[in-house]
Amino acid sequence: MAVIWERRLGDACYQVRTAGRSVRLYTNGVFHSQYNPQRPATGNIWDLLFIPAFFRPPGTIRRVLVLGVGGGAVIRQLQHFIEPETIVGVELSRVHLGIARRFFGVGGAGVELIEADAVDWVRSWRGEPFDMIIDDLFGDDDGEPARAVQATGRWVGSLAACLAPDGMIVSNFATRGELTGSAYRQLPRYRHLFKSGFWLATPQNHNAVGVFLRSAATQSDLRKRLCRIPQLNPDLKSTGLRYRIRVL
């Protein structure tokens, strides 16, 4: 693995590394993003953030909000596999946004990158709702990844206010315990707000990704649609996608 770019600002150290054709972003030693345009399914956590779009029929995910851009791997994956009309990415770090544009190739028609505090931005949003919201707000704690915003009732309510009537929220947690202890699962108001809920995991990480849909969905819906795409078909050894799924 080669370091191709590095910058230190205050206490933060940013690195862009390459491993074969993959580009990776590390901040303070924490692995934030990875993307390979020749192999867009990474086999890692970022796959779990975009594949929930396949719970819905093709063409129904028009507007996506990504909170926590990092290097922008999930935005590239959304562009490659889903082709939404609009992707809005909100990121606190100006350095991350610069890396996303320069090294990960994030941009193009319909993509808007915004430097802002995601909590303030979400609470002030009054525009068109989103079909899919990806909450990937992570920082680091002593060199380990940690959620930057806890999934309290107030935060989940703020996200739900930006969501389309049949939309979904995809939220990344460091552990399954964080997911089950979140407002999505602990507060009846939010358990009843969503008609379907799923837990996604990958053998490569301890992370637990929660998927909460306002419309009815099944594991079979997801698998059938993934199987139609060779790069995502979990039955093919050639695909990089590996995931586990459970109903919440």
Is the predicted pLDDT of residue 129 greater than 80, yes or no? yes
> Which has the higher per-residue pLDDT, 191 or 87?
87
Domain boundaries, the chain: 39-247
Is the predicted pLDDT of residue 240 greater than 90, yes or no? no
Question: What is the pLDDT averaged over residues 187-214?
Answer: 94
Q: What does the alpha-carbon distance between residue 108 and residue 79 come to, in Å, rounded to a whole number?
A: 9
Q: Say if CB 69 and CB 113 are below 8 A apart.
A: yes
Indicate the pTM of the whole model. 0.97
The rounded Cα 161 to chain-centroid distance in angstroms is: 19
Homologous superfamily of the 39-247 domain (CATH):
Vaccinia Virus protein VP39 (3.40.50.150)
Q: What is the pLDDT of residue 153?
A: 97
Is the predicted pLDDT of residue 145 greater than 80, yes or no? yes
- pLDDT tens sequence across 95-117: 999 999 999 999 999 999 999 99
- pLDDT tens sequence across 38-84: 999 988 899 999 999 999 999 999 999 999 999 999 999 999 999 99
Of residues 124, 120, 175, the one with CA closest to residue 147:
175
Q: Which residues pair with 201 in a beta bridge?
A: 244
Q: What is the pLDDT of residue 9?
A: 95
Name the pLDDT band for 199 (thresholds 50, 70, 90).
very high
